[in-house]
């Protein structure tokens, strides 16, 4: 009986922690959306900003590999 009670309490705690984190994630997503809106409102291109954010997350080797593949594909299509 004690193990069952412990498991229920532990499960409830995990669920509540996940719920709190989901709320925080939603709040952060909203904050990010507002920053993009601010950037757009001041004349910045948000597509370019999103791309820069994505590129900055990559390490240099990953970025170089992606650039090389993109260049190869564009060349094969007569775009480069």
- Residue 63: how many CB atoms within 10 A of its CB? 14
What tokens does 31 get?
């904050």
Q: pTM for the whole thing?
A: 0.73
Length of the chain: 80
The residue ranges of every structural domain in the chain are 1-44, 45-80
How confident is the model over 57-80, as pLDDT tens digits? Answer: 999 999 999 999 999 999 999 997
pLDDT of residue 4: 85
CA-based nearest residue to 54, from 64, 63, 42, 45: 63
16-64 pLDDT tens trace: 999 999 999 999 999 999 999 999 999 999 999 999 999 999 999 999 9
Full DSSP string of 2-26: HHHHHHHHHHHHHHHHHHHHHHHHH
């Amino acid at each position: 009986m004690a193990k069952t009670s412990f498991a229920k309490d532990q499960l409830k705690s995990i669920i509540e922690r996940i719920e709190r984190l989901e709320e925080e994630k939603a709040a952060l997503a909203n904050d990010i959306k507002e920053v993009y809106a601010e950037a757009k409102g001041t004349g910045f291109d948000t597509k370019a900003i999103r791309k820069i954010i994505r590129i900055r997350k990559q390490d240099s080797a990953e970025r170089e590999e992606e650039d090389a593949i993109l260049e190869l594909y564009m060349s094969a299509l007569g775009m480069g």
